[in-house]
Chain A
Amino acid sequence: MISCRIGVITFPGTLDDVDAARAVRCAGAEPVGLWHADDDLHGVDAVIVPGGFSYGDYLRAGAIAAHQPVLRAVRDAAGRGMPVLGICNGFQILCEAGLLPGALVRNSGLHFVCRDQRLRVESNATAWTGRYAAGAEIVVPLKSIEGRYVADAATLAMLEADGRVVFRYAGANPNGALNDIAGIASADGGVVGLMPHPEHAIDALTGPSSDGLDVFRSAVDAVVGAVRAPSVSSWR
């Protein structure tokens, strides 16, 4: 059996690292804690940048975390094709770090929003969504105050044209995100960022559904598949 080790980064102010680690375990992989000040990824096969308020979101959400040593290592690894997932604050950090285009700004309603959110999986051609049927609807918690995805018109057009919009809000747009975008991917499909929290939807006991678990299972598939077929350099 091929084992899969998935790193979960903790910054000061990270909150959902325990949840992400739990989701990794439930998906059959081994979670490995990664510390923000350490630029060694300890040989993990994939990395999750979890949610929270790293550095209190002072200055700008994700701005300080994006400059920590561990992010240098993540950037290098992503460049080599390692699957990277940014959830909520992690998505903000990946945007600040330049791994994903665009930015997350204050919700159009100005308030923090915590709700069970319907999402449409627009693309299963990424390292983190291979298990879903394209077009599937899932319910996953959304909880953020700076969750409104924005990008310039050219970037939006490029994301849409290239099929890089991975998750879209279904039903009423909860935060004013452009094109109802909830999550996007890098050009090679290895790096995915999304505002909603699939790690809070792995079990109907503690979440609104178990719809989020396949995000983590997809990464395990991708890692194991890549080991079996090392020539594959892209997830698409």
Chain B
Amino acid sequence: MTPEQPYRELGLADDEYARIRDILGRAPTDTELAMYSVMWSEHCSYKSSKVHLRYFGETTTEAMRRRMLAGIGENAGVVEVGDGWAVTFKIESHNHPSYVEPYQGAATGVGGIVRDIMAMGARPIAVLDSLRFGPADAPDTARVLPGVVAGIGGYGNCLGLPNIGGEVAFDPSYAGNPLVNALCVGVLRVDDLHRAHASGAGNKIVLFGARTGRDGIGGVSVLASESFTANSGDHSAGRKKLPSVQVGDPFAEKVLIECCLELFAAGLVVGIQDLGGAGLACATSELASAGDGGMQVELDAVPLRASGMTPAEILCSESQERMCAVVRPSDVDAFLAVCAKWEVTATVIGEVTEGDLLVIRHHGDTVVDAPPRTVAHEGPVYHRPVQRPSTQNALQSSTPDTLARPSTLDSIRATVLRMAASPGLCSRAWVTDQYDRYVRGGTVLAQPSDAGVVRIDESTQRGVAVATDCNGRYCALDPYAGTQLALAEAYRNVAVTGATPLAVTNCLNFGAPTDPGVMWQFEQAVRGLADGCAALGIPVTGGNVSFYNQTGDTAILPTPVIGVLGVIDDVRRRIPTGLGSVGDEVWLLGETRDEFGGSEWAHEVHGHLGGRPPAVDLAREQAIAQVLAAASHEGLVSAAHDLSDGGLAQALVEACLLSNVGAQLELPANLDPFTALFSESSARLLLGMSRAHAPRVAQL
């Protein structure tokens, strides 16, 4: 019997440790123990979510798969968008680091998702950010929000990627656990798709990019797989974990992007993987696991930035701006020459071997000798208890129907102004004016438009549209319907630009998976999203799960952020959000009902959360998307803006302010003015058009 190993301190459960001993037929070395512990963490292994995420695959039909070149399980999903172009996109959380150290946490969140996109062989072309904070006037929000925004700007602006959209939301549940979800879009030729795998015995493993240091060691296992403790008032837990947050160097990443693209173009890459959570431990085990052989790695060859690092530290370091490639021996010199041109450090650290073992050596000792699949893909799978919370009925029966509503002209006027100025609805320019939306010269629409639109081909004017959405209050009231509403809103936001929605990504932010109520929310959200995608006929191509978003026993609002990607074959046909010329007609499409459960009005005016969210109508969402696509093709509409938080009143405020025009309208006769203006019924939008086109639009 070997002496007791510190597996519990590394976050491994008793049975998990026992399984590692079973797999290896012996006690793991210290390095193996560290490697398994980070790779079997919730963040890397999806051990609590796996059984639920399978539902995405089960509900994706062949027809939905038609445009999909890579899906769940790859670094990022890839869809074909026509003319030989493919687009890859993914959204990922960096919540916990952004609470501990807002600037670096958010900055490295951008850096990580950009490398995921590069690992598909794509050129990153745009980013979006979905942000959630505690109340706007909470003291800690004044620390977290400016830091997060400066971090996203500081890193993203320096990479030369336009920031084209996203969200900012506030709720007390995020006060001790802000959400920073970063989305990146990349573009590639269909033929150039690179997958993360290490094949061909004798091929070399090249580590390139920044040197490896002690920063971020155990970041994923320590930060993202554990809740912050309850006393968030003094941040004692946060402070203690400070050294685990990585530090970003956007200049190194920018150079790495250009270096990677030149390597791809020269055909020098067999397989590639980014180094993110769990660093080299993750990259080597995933590459080897996905390939056809084993792998041997010499840790002595890894360029270090600190002395005296242990093999476990080298493997688990989350130093940023690093990539790992599989290269044919005959291409190694050319590969290193490209890296030298961009002044990127590159080192051969190992090779693909016959057999099926991952062997890692340090100072002549074998420190890891394990089957890579057991590290990367055969981690524990949990069937966590799932239980609808006993409080859910009370929440749903506490309807907003009894809340006092404004009825006089003056009080409605005051409500319009109050809502437009509220933290939930006011202009996001303070945030978005800190992001470069122009770089690369392809941005056709950006915030505050409903979706960002970027041109991907100057010769054909083909472009893509992307939007992210989620209303956590709707999801709290009904996680199944709430997630479908998030999907519907992102879908509609893409459709109002004239683009055709094609694919879905998601970042599922929830509380602790050990809480059966949280797991119920999670299961409902996954089912709602998968069923919704099946109804709309567009696939989920990838995503990210972030658990343990809670302070003490209090979880955040369930926040499944949904990203939808669409294609527009000619960006000159895009439909702007702001109303067009004076004299244009303004139409409201869709049906308005008395729906205030989870609404911005109930939250802002009454601090109320209860009842049911607005009804979902995916068939109508699809019909609306078809009308918009046709209107865009025929050039019939001058503006389109989706109705969501704050209802018709807010949509009008936004569409008018964008174009510096006013609007005069007649409210539906069958509704009281308050309901008509502030209800958040889904599947609705505003259309602006010249009078001449109105008859044709009516036909559609």
CA distance A197 to B434 in the complex (A): 16
Within 8 A of A (CB), among B155-173: 157-160
Contacts of B17 in A (CB 8 A): none
B343–A114 CB distance below 8 A: no
| Contact pattern, B 550-589, Cβ under 8 Å of A = 1, otherwise 0 | 0000000000000000000001100000000000000000
The answer, among B157, B249, B433, B443, for a CB contact under 8 Å with A115, is: B433
> Which has the most chain A C-beta neighbours within 10 Å: B250, B438, B458?
B438
- Across the interface, name the chain A residue whose C-beta is closest to B156: A112
- CB atoms of B572 and A141 under 8 A apart: no
Give the distance to chain A from B363, nearest Cβ to Cβ, in Å.
34
* Pairwise interchain contact B157-A206, C-beta atoms closer than 8 A: no
A-contact 0/1 string along B241-272, CB 8 Å cutoff: 00000000111101100100000000000000
B251:A56 contact, CB within 8 angstroms:
yes
Q: How distant is the Cα of A197 from the Cα of B439 in the complex, in angstroms?
A: 10
The answer to whether B615 has its CB under 8 Å from any CB of chain A is: no
The minimal Cβ–Cβ distance linking B243 to chain A, given in whole angstroms, is: 23
Is B571 a contact of A114 with CB atoms below 8 Å?
Answer: no
Closest A residue, CB atoms, query B252: A56
Interface size class of A (residues with CB under 8 A): 20 to 34
A206's partner among B154, B251, B433, B444 (CB-CB below 8 A) is B444
Give every chain B residue within 8 A of A53 (Cβ-Cβ).
157-158, 250-251, 254
Of A13-21, A120-128, A150-158, A176-184, the one with at least 4 CB within 8 A of chain B: A13-21
> Any chain B CB within 8 A of the CB of A143?
yes
Closest chain B CB from A139 CB (angstroms):
13
For A58, the closest partner residue in chain B by CB is B251
Contact in complex: B434, A206 (CB < 8 Å): no
In the complex, B435 has a CB within 8 A of chain A: yes
Measured CB to CB, the closest approach of chain B to A106, in angstroms, equals 13
Cβ-defined partner of A12 (8 Å) among B343, B437, B572: B343
**Taking the nearest CB of chain A, how far is it from the CB of B469, in angstroms?**
23
Residues from 103 to 139 in A contacting B, C-beta threshold 8 Å:
111-115
Are B440 and A13 touching (Cβ within 8 A)?
A: no
Residues of B near A13 (CB, < 8 A) are 158, 251, 254-255
Nearest Cβ on chain A to B440's Cβ, whole angstroms: 6
Q: Contact at B440–A18, with CB atoms within 8 Å?
A: yes
Tell me the complex Cα distance, A148–B260, Å: 35
A143 to B153, CA, bound (A): 11
B656 at interface (Cβ–Cβ under 8 A)? no
Find B438's partner among A57, A112, A141 (CB 8 Å cutoff). Answer: A141
- B442 interfacial by beta-carbon distance below 8 Å: yes
Contact B158 A206 (CB under 8 A): no
Q: Does A200 contact B (CB under 8 A)?
A: yes
Q: Is B455 an interface residue (CB 8 A)?
A: yes
Contacts of A112 in B (CB 8 A): 150, 153-154, 157, 433-436
Q: In the complex, which residues of chain A have a beta carbon less than 8 angstroms from the beta carbon of B433?
A: 111-115
Enumerate chain B residues within 8 angstroms of A55, measured Cβ to Cβ: 251
Answer whether residue A60 sits at the interface, using C-beta atoms and an 8 A cutoff.
no
A12 x B255 contact (CB < 8 A):
yes
Interface residues of A in 179-203 (CB under 8 A from B): 197, 199-200
Please, what's the 1-or-0 string for A1-41, where 1 marks a CB less than 8 Å from any CB in chain B?
A: 00000000000110110110010000000000000000000
A229, CB-defined interface residue at 8 Å: no
**Shortest Cβ gap from A221 to chain B (Å):** 23
Is B342 among interface residues, defined by CB-CB distance under 8 A? yes
Taking the closest CB of chain A, its distance from the CB of B291, in whole angstroms, is 32
Q: Which chain B residue shows the least CB distance to A197?
A: B438
B158 touches A19 (CB 8 A): no
Interface centre among B153, B157, B252, B255 (most CB of A within 10 A): B157
Asked if A19 contacts B251 (CB within 8 A), the reply is no
Q: Across the interface, which residues of A come within 8 angstroms of B607, CB to CB? A: none
Most buried by B among A12, A19, A113: A12
**Cβ–Cβ contact A114 & B251, under 8 A:** no
| Residues of chain B within 8 A of A197, CB atoms compared | 438
With contacts A15-B254, A53-B254 taken as known, whether A206 is within 8 angstroms of B249 at the C-beta atoms is no
How big is the B interface, by class? 20 to 34
Q: Digit string of B642-656 for contact with A (CB within 8 Å is 1, else 0)?
A: 000000000000000
By the criterion CB–CB under 8 Å, are B441 and A22 in contact?
yes
Instruction: A199 to B494: give the CA distance in the assembly, Å.
Output: 28
Contacts A52-B160, A56-B249, A56-B251; is A114 near B150 (CB within 8 Å)? no
CB-based contact A206/B436 at 8 Å: no
Contact in complex: A207, B438 (CB < 8 Å): yes
Interchain nearest-CB distance for A55 vs B (Å)? 7
In the bound complex, do residue B438 and residue A143 qualify as a contact, i.e. CB atoms below 8 Å apart? yes
Contact A205 B572, CB 8 Å, known A16-B439, A143-B436, A200-B438: yes
Q: Give the residue among A12, A53, A114, A200 with the most B Cβ atoms within 10 A.
A: A114
CB-nearest residue of chain A to B258: A12
A113 CB contacts on chain B under 8 angstroms? 433-434
Q: Which residues of B contact A199 (CB under 8 A)?
A: 441
Considering the complex, give the chain A residue whose CB is closest to the CB of B458: A22
User: Roughly how many angstroms separate A200 CA and B250 CA in the complex, as a whole number?
Assistant: 22
B434 and A56: CB pair below 8 A?
A: no
Asked if residues A143 and B157 are in contact (CB atoms below 8 Å), the reply is: yes
Chain A residues contacting B254 (CB-CB under 8 Å) are 12-13, 15, 53, 56
What is the distance, in angstroms, from A144's C-beta to the closest C-beta of chain B? Answer: 9
Within 8 A of A (CB), among B369-390: none
Residues of B within 8 A of A200 (CB): 438-439, 441
Within 8 A of B (CB), among A76-128: 111-115
Residues of B387-440 at the interface with A, using a CB-CB cut-off of 8 Å, are 432-440
What CA separation (Å) do A199 and B254 show in the bound complex?
21
Q: How far is the CA of A141 from the CA of B432 in the complex (A)?
A: 14
Separation in Å of the A86 CB from the closest CB of chain B?
17
The distance from the CB of B624 to the nearest CB of chain A, in whole angstroms, is 25
Select from chain B the residue with minimum beta-carbon distance to A143. Answer: B436
- Decide: B441 and A18 in contact? CB cutoff 8 A: yes
Q: How far is the CA of A53 from the CA of B150 in the complex (A)?
A: 16
Which residues of A have CB within 8 Å of B444? 205-206
Residues in B whose Cβ lies below 8 Å from that of A56: 158, 249-252, 254
Q: Within the assembled complex, what's the spacing in Å between the Cα atoms of A93 and B251?
A: 17
Known: A19-B439, A19-B441. A114 touches B434 (CB 8 A): yes
Q: Is the CB of B439 within 8 A of A15?
A: yes
In the complex, A53→B159 CA distance in Å? 8
Known: A52-B160, A206-B444. A114 touches B250 (CB 8 A): no
- A112 CB, nearest partner CB in chain B, Å: 5
Complex alpha-carbon distance, A229 and B251, angstroms? 44
Known interface pairs A114-B436, A205-B572. Does A12 touch B250 (Cβ–Cβ under 8 Å)? no
Contact call B251/A12, Cβ cutoff below 8 A: yes
Within the complex, the shortest CB–CB distance from A87 to chain B, in Å, comes to 12
Least CB distance from A93 to B in Å reads: 15
* Cβ distance A118 to chain B, nearest Cβ, rounded Å: 15
A 37-66 to B, binary, CB cutoff 8 A, 1 in contact else 0:
000000000000000110111100000000
Q: Which parts of B462-492 form the interface with A (CB within 8 Å)?
A: none
Q: How far is the CA of A111 from the CA of B341 in the complex (A)?
A: 33
Interchain CA distance A19-B458 in the complex, whole Å: 12
Which residues from A are CB-within-8-Å of B251?
12-13, 53, 55-58
Q: In the complex, which residue of chain A has the Cβ closest to the Cβ of B455? A: A206
Q: Which residue of B160, B437, B443 has the most chain A CB atoms within 10 A of its CB atom?
A: B160
User: CB-CB < 8 A to A18: which residues of B?
Assistant: 440-441
Q: Kindly report which residue of chain A lies nearest to residue B251, judged by CB atoms.
A: A56
The chain A residue with its CB closest to the CB of B255 is A12
Given contacts A19-B441, A112-B434, A143-B438, 6 further A-B contacts (CB under 8 A): A12-B255, A15-B159, A52-B160, A56-B251, A112-B433, A200-B439
- By a beta-carbon cutoff of 8 Å, the part of chain A in contact with chain B is 12-13, 15-16, 18-19, 22, 52-53, 55-58, 111-115, 141, 143, 145, 197, 199-200, 205-207
* 6 residue pairs A–B, Cβ–Cβ below 8 Å: A19-B439, A22-B458, A56-B252, A143-B438, A200-B438, A206-B444
- Interface on B for A, CB 8 Å cutoff? 150, 153-154, 157-160, 249-252, 254-255, 258, 342-343, 432-444, 455, 458, 571-572
Top 5 A-B pairs, shortest CB-CB distance: A56-B251, A15-B160, A19-B441, A200-B438, A53-B158
